Amino acid sequence: MRAIAPDLFIETPQGPRLLGGRRRESGEVVFPLPQGGERRFYEPMELSPHGLLWSWTVQRFRPKAPPYAGDEDERGFQPYAVGYVELPGEVIVEARLAFGAVEPRLGLAMRLEIVPFNHGADGVLQSCYIFRAEGA
């Protein structure tokens, strides 16, 4: 399994980490780590794997493809939660979310997880990042 994009998240001995960027000039933290011409203005930064739910919704129809690249077809589509998680002192990141039986509410404790997402054009299984509610 490979990441759906390079420089999006990394594995560390302590577990996975999203890769953000700290702007050298201002200290501002952004996610993802900017690429291309903007890359040189940012110091790569491992973001906290723990955060608090900032907002959420549930995607109940299959997004149009492209750009959506889920393996499933219209019939196999399963709604997924998506929203924002505040990483205290760093930045608020957008992510797919998993709540299990936990009722979503602002401030709910969430943790980062890497999960399988789809198969690339070459048939290789690809992973993405999600935040899962603690205890879910």
Q: Total number of residues binding other proteins (CB under 8 A)?
A: 45
Considering beta carbons, is residue 13 or 27 the nearer one to other proteins? 27
Residue 5 binds to other proteins (criterion: CB under 8 A): yes
50: nearest Cα among 82, 80, 16? 16
Query: Considering beta carbons, is residue 15 or 79 the nearer one to other proteins?
Result: 79
CA distance 49 to 9: 11
Q: Is 85 exposed, middle or buried (0-12, 13-18, 19+ CB in 10 A)?
A: buried
CA–CA separation, 20 and 37 (whole Å): 16
Residues 6+ apart with CB under 8 A from 120: 2, 4, 126
Choice from 46, 50, 96, 98 touching other proteins (CB under 8 A): 96
Nearer to other proteins, 40 or 60 (CB): 60
Does 89 bind other proteins (CB under 8 A)? Our answer is yes
Q: Does 113 bind other proteins (CB under 8 A)?
A: no
- Show the 3-state SS of 23-43: ECCCCCEECCCCCHHHHHHEE
Binding mask 44-73 toward other proteins (x if CB under 8 A, else -) reads ----------xxxxxxxx-xxxxxxxx---
Which chain residues interact with other proteins by CB under 8 A?
Answer: 4-5, 8, 20, 28-32, 35, 54-61, 63-70, 80, 82-84, 86, 88-96, 105-106, 117-118, 128
